[in-house]
């Protein structure tokens, strides 16, 4: 079934609680919906979040690359020809989230055409994903109050603490207050978004050694090659590559050159097709992964749930699937719910990214 249109629709939804982290901040979901239409009128949807501080993409660059560069090449292709679409999009370097969204929207069409949930088509390992909540920069006591609230209300027992601040004592204190307030059974890990040097990170690891943290993500700029390698070699917990591994090739390079020994997999940037290749590489290499958050709306989050639950290697750990709770509204026709610390895979044909037309009309920018 041929693709007849590939469109990019900008929209903006304010956040109730902005998220602050070492590389930037998010006050509104100024994202782009990617819509793929096939002959016969099947429509697939996916969300592309612009993250200029991570990938260099903006809302306008995503619209431009999808509509001006990808669409003319993809129209006329069978929607089942995902690998051909990958090759076409790979001719344009970078633009990770634009490519990821086109792939997911194609998968949504495929699921709808076959009358199957895409999670089943991708592997069908389980029917839910455990949720990890990402905590942005805030005073330690406020972070604890928030985390206790998320545990009480949604049953969430895994938390990512955004770090990378100076003085480093701020983050050490936040981790300690969380551990003492939440107890031993809660999983806590840190993500510094390159905010520290390798030496800062080594000092933080030394000072948090007794806190039972699960892993440390993107402590410093991975291009500081020797510092990063030293950290990976010396750390007692895994060092995770996130923005230093935005695609399959760079994920392999970071692992094989000792820049990291764990990987974040984000469907927002590698879609389903390339994410599956990243996971296969990691599984074969004996490297743990977790499903990360690109500060996703519900449209982005449901894609992460669908992918994460499909494969045994991604379903092992909680995925970051709850930051849409900080938004004032969302676009998904069937809103997601978090119960007992988990989100269930929607039992619908496709990805479950169906859009509420009234909400899209309200928030779209053009």
**Which has the closest alpha carbon to 292: 280, 301, 283?**
301
Going by DSSP bridges, is the β-strand pair 262-265/239-241 parallel, antiparallel, or unpaired?
parallel
Catalytic residue among 217, 254, 320, 330: 217
Q: Look at residue 215 and give the partner it binds from Mg ion, ligand MUC, none, a contact being a CB closer than 5 to 8 Å depending on partner kind.
A: none
Q: Which is nearer to ligand MUC, 120 or 160 (CB)?
A: 160
Cis preceding-peptide flag for 167 (omega within 30 of 0)? yes
Judged by CB under 6 A, the stretch of 76-84, 225-233, 293-301, 341-349 that binds ligand MUC is: 293-301
Determine the Cα–Cα distance for residues 180 and 161; give it in Å rounded to an integer: 14
Measured from the CB of residue 193, what is the shortest distance to ligand MUC in angstroms? 5
- 191 is annotated as an active-site residue: yes
Q: Contact residues for Mg ion (CB under 5 A)?
A: 191, 217, 242
**CB contact set of 273 (below 8 Å; sequence gap of 6+):** 82, 83, 86, 103, 107
Catalytic entry in 35, 99, 160, 266: 266
132 binds ligand MUC (CB under 6 A): no
Residue nearest to ligand MUC (CB): 54
Structure tokens at 159: 């938390």
294 is catalytic: yes
Does 82 bind ligand MUC (CB under 6 A)? Our answer is no
One residue of 242, 254, 274, 330 binding ligand MUC per CB under 6 A: 242
Strands (E), the chain: 3-10, 13-21, 24-29, 32-38, 43-48, 128-135, 158-162, 187-191, 216-217, 239-241, 262-265, 288-291, 319-320, 342-344
Structure tokens of 344? Answer: 């269930």
- Annotated active-site residue 217? The verdict is yes
Q: Does 193 bind ligand MUC (CB under 6 A)?
A: yes
84 is catalytic: no
Of 96, 103, 108, 191, the catalytic one is: 191
Distance CA(262)–CA(238), nearest Å, equals 6
- Residues marked as catalytic: 162, 191, 217, 242, 266, 294
Applying CB under 6 A, which residues contact ligand MUC?
A: 21, 23, 51, 54, 191, 193, 242-243, 292-295
């Amino acid at each position: 079934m041929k693709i007849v249109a590939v469109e990019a629709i900008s929209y903006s939804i304010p956040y109730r609680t902005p998220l602050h982290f070492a590389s930037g901040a998010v006050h509104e979901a100024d994202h782009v919906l990617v819509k793929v239409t096939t002959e016969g009128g099947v429509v697939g949807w996916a969300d592309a979040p612009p993250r200029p501080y991570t990938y260099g993409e903006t809302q306008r660059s995503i619209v431009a690359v999808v509509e001006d560069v990808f669409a003319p090449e993809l129209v006329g292709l069978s929607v089942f020809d995902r690998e051909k679409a990958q090759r076409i999009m790979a001719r344009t370097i970078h633009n990770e989230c634009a490519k990821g969204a086109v792939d997911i929207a194609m998968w949504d069409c495929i699921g709808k055409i076959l009358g199957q949930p895409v999670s089943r088509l991708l592997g069908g390992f389980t029917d839910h994903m455990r949720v990890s909540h990402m905590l942005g920069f805030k005073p330690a006591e406020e972070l604890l109050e928030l985390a206790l609230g998320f545990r009480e209300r949604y049953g969430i027992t895994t938390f990512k603490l955004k770090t990378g601040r100076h003085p480093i004592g701020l983050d050490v204190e936040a981790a300690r207050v969380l551990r003492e307030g939440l107890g031993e059974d809660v999983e806590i890990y840190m993500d510094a978004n390159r905010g520290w040097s390798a030496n800062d990170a080594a000092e933080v690891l030394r000072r948090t050694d007794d806190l039972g943290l699960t892993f440390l993500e993107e402590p410093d700029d991975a291009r500081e090659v020797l510092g990063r390698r030293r950290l990976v070699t010396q750390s007692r917990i895994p060092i995770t590559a996130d923005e230093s591994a935005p695609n399959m090739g760079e994920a392999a390079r970071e692992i094989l050159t000792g820049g990291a020994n764990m990987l974040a997999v984000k469907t927002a940037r590698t879609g389903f097709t390339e994410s599956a290749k990243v996971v296969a590489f990691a599984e074969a290499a004996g490297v743990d992964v977790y499903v990360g958050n690109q500060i996703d709306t519900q449209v982005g989050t449901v894609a992460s749930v669908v992918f994460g639950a499909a494969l045994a290697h991604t379903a092992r750990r909680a995925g970051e699937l709850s930051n849409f709770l900080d938004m004032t509204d969302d676009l998904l026709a069937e809103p997601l719910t978090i119960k007992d610390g988990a989100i269930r895979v929607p039992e619908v044909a496709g990805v479950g990214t169906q859009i509420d037309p009234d909400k899209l009309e309200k928030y779209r920018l053009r």
